[in-house]
Amino acid sequence: MRKYWAAIYSWIILASDLILGWTAANILWTLWFVKWGPGQGPQPLEMEHKVALVVFLLLSVLLHGGYRHTYKMNRLEQILNIYKSSLISLVFIIVVVFLIKGYRYSRGFIVLYYTAAPFLLSLGRVLFFVFSEELMKRGWGIKNAIIIGSGKTAKAVFDHLITNRAYGYKIIGFLVENEKDLQFKYGGVKAIGLHRDCDIAVKRNKVEEIFIPGLTTKLADYSDLIDLCRNHKMEVSIISHHYDLLAKVAGIYDVAGVAIVTQHGTFYSRFYPYVKRAMDVSLSTLALAVFSPVMLAIALLIKLNSPGPVFFRQTRVGRNSILYPLLKFRTMHKDAEKVKVNLHQHNEADGPIFKIKEDPRITRVGRWLRRLSLDELPQLINVFKGDMSLVGPRPPLPSEVEKYQDWHKYRLQGQQGMTGLWQVSGRSELSFEEMVLLDIYYLEHWSPMMDLEILIKTIPAVITAKGAY
């Protein structure tokens, strides 16, 4: 599989869905007039309504991971994704239509569209799937890969990749941990060396991707391997036991019931930061205007609930380790930082992060604000100023960064954010290493579509207070 095949594949699929979705709308519109005649029967949709039908369908497919790692989804998974997305779009639009008074267009046309369009989209996926398989049979797009380990997870990954040959992997061999495992052989593929031989194996076999079973081993033990992959501009796919939290988040996919997070060797395109900054300025300005009454009400509640300032300013580490003052609504009593020294033995988070579920320093109003993440609204000012972004890695404290291992510092190479993959994936339910892994994944796969996806997914995560405390 060539260097940019994944991105090309996804964009081709998106373009195909757009064309076929629009084609379905126009075919149905034409057939409607053939049946009823101009001006007769229920009125079909106007141009803008047809556009809305297509956009909602594609947006739903996007939010269900339909345009990320599609080359690592089999045909059935892709088709089920399309039909599930179509059903959700149909339910949403029907609810909206029933709430609109005086709606005079045919609801039957809407139902018909979300029945026919998925069929066309699925047909397009199958045809493209067959086409890409033919290319791979001719040797185009095949990627040499190595699997680390010889245990149950390594075997499961091997079985999955071999069974789904359309993924385009050729498994060169296994790298094992101990010399006694050098005789390991599975599915006709042998162990070709130890972990420490990875550099030699990569150069000798022109390896483009490595699968690391982080299922039972701390990712820090593989930091040298991850660095090696970066130096060779390879992909490294790390397997996590938090499948239920990580799967289907922005392209993270599953193999045999565990989540796989793929890291690339380079960061996003040079022009992307300018696009991201434009999005941050426009959206933060709009959000500040919309939420200003809410922020004023919160400020009043804080002053009435406990003595102290409305805002809490805390030094955080931003992009390239630059320090900046992060703004939040105050949720703790004013002597909270002094009391923190006596609470370290109660810390419930792993790694350098400090968190307690029943933190005695939090005020009554503060607990409610934290549960709904409303305490973070002032960070919109930080976003507008350029200190941070709407979406990005969680901004750490300087004291946390002091405890970072070298590979953790990769997450500081991008702009920190108000929300991110860590928030829509369970926040406090994730281990620190998995949070770092998601942050690095985000920085290496950033796109405007990904930011939009995360922002939309943040809404239900905040409403349900998923993993928040």
- Whole-angstrom distance, CA of residue 168 vs CA of residue 180: 31
Which residues are registered as beta bridge partners of 323? 317
Which region among 254-268, 294-308, 439-453 has the lowest average model confidence (pLDDT)?
Answer: 254-268
Which tens digit of pLDDT belongs to each residue from 171-194? 999 988 888 888 899 988 999 988
**Whether pLDDT at 215 is above 60:** no
Residue 455 resides in a domain: yes
Residue 65 resides in a domain: yes
**Whether pLDDT at 281 is above 90:** yes
Q: Look at residue 343 in the predicted model and tell me its pLDDT.
A: 62
Give the model's confidence band at 380: pLDDT under 50 very low, under 70 low, under 90 confident, else very high. Answer: very high
Average pLDDT in the 34-58 region? Answer: 72
Q: Which domain-ending residue is among 263, 287, 317? A: 263
Q: Look at residue 382 in the predicted model and tell me its pLDDT.
A: 96
Residue type, 447: S
- Whole-angstrom distance, CA of residue 113 vs CA of residue 98: 17
Residues 257 and 294 occupy one common structural domain: no
Q: Look at residue 121 in the predicted model and tell me its pLDDT.
A: 93
Residues 368 and 440 occupy one common structural domain: yes
Q: Which domain-ending residue is among 243, 263, 283? A: 263
Residue 284 resides in a domain: yes
- Whole-angstrom distance, CA of residue 156 vs CA of residue 149: 11
Residues 118 and 149 occupy one common structural domain: no
Taking the CB of residue 376, how many other CB atoms lie within 10 A of it?
20
- Whole-angstrom distance, CA of residue 6 vs CA of residue 3: 8
Residue 469 resides in a domain: no
For 33-91, the DSSP string reads: HHHH-TT-SSB---HHHHHHHHHHHHHHHHHTTTTSSGGGS-HHHHHHHHHHHHHHHHH
Give the model's confidence band at 249: pLDDT under 50 very low, under 70 low, under 90 confident, else very high. Answer: very low
Residue 430 resides in a domain: yes
Q: pTM to 2 decimals? A: 0.61
Which region among 93-107, 151-165, 188-202, 238-252 has the lowest average model confidence (pLDDT)?
Answer: 238-252
Q: Look at residue 416 in the predicted model and tell me its pLDDT.
A: 93
Work out the percent of the chain whose per-residue pLDDT is above 90.
22
**Whether pLDDT at 246 is above 50:** no
**Whether pLDDT at 35 is above 70:** no
φ, ψ at 245 (rounded to 5°): -95, -35
Segments forming the whole domain that contains residue 92: 5-137
Residue 11 resides in a domain: yes
Q: What is the CATH number of the domain that holds 152?
A: 3.40.50.720
Do 142 and 136 contact (CB within 8 A), yes or no? yes
Q: How far is CA 294 from CA 299, 300, 462, in A?
A: 9, 10, 16
Average pLDDT in the 157-170 region? Answer: 78
Q: Which of 172-186, 329-343, 447-461 has the largest mean confidence?
A: 172-186
Residue 424 resides in a domain: yes
Residue type, 289: A
Nearest CA among 409, 450, 436, 439 for reference residue 276: 450
Average pLDDT in the 415-435 region? Answer: 78
Q: Which domain-ending residue is among 137, 172, 204? A: 137
Which tens digit of pLDDT belongs to each residue from 337-347? 666 656 665 55
φ, ψ at 463 (rounded to 5°): -60, -40
Average pLDDT in the 115-121 region? Answer: 92
336's enclosing H/E stretch is helix 336-340
**Whether pLDDT at 277 is above 80:** yes
Query: Which one has a higher pLDDT value, 62 or 302?
Result: 302
Residues 378 and 424 occupy one common structural domain: yes
Work out the percent of the chain whose per-residue pLDDT is above 70.
72
Average pLDDT in the 267-285 region? Answer: 81
Number of domains in the chain: 3
Residues 280 and 414 occupy one common structural domain: yes
Do 448 and 279 contact (CB within 8 A), yes or no? yes
Nearest CA among 431, 414, 425 for reference residue 457: 425
- CA 261 to chain CA mean position, Å: 10
Q: What is the mean pLDDT of the chain?
A: 78
Structure tokens at 290: 């919309």
Q: Look at residue 446 in the predicted model and tell me its pLDDT.
A: 79
- CA 165 to chain CA mean position, Å: 25
- Whole-angstrom distance, CA of residue 296 vs CA of residue 308: 16
Residues 227 and 87 occupy one common structural domain: no
Residue type, 325: P
Nearest CA among 443, 444, 434 for reference residue 240: 434
Residues 119 and 151 occupy one common structural domain: no
Residues 89 and 120 occupy one common structural domain: yes
**Whether pLDDT at 383 is above 70:** yes
Give the model's confidence band at 355: pLDDT under 50 very low, under 70 low, under 90 confident, else very high. Answer: low
Residues 441 and 363 occupy one common structural domain: yes
- Whole-angstrom distance, CA of residue 234 vs CA of residue 394: 26
Do 182 and 191 contact (CB within 8 A), yes or no? yes
**Whether pLDDT at 92 is above 80:** yes
Residues 235 and 106 occupy one common structural domain: no
The interaxial angle of helices 448-463 and 47-63, nearest 10 deg, is 80
Residues 286 and 411 occupy one common structural domain: yes
- Whole-angstrom distance, CA of residue 54 vs CA of residue 36: 23
Residue 468 resides in a domain: no
Nearest CA among 370, 346, 364 for reference residue 356: 346
Residues 439 and 319 occupy one common structural domain: yes
Q: Please, how many CA atoms are within 13 Å of residue 108, restricted to the half-sphere of its CB?
A: 6
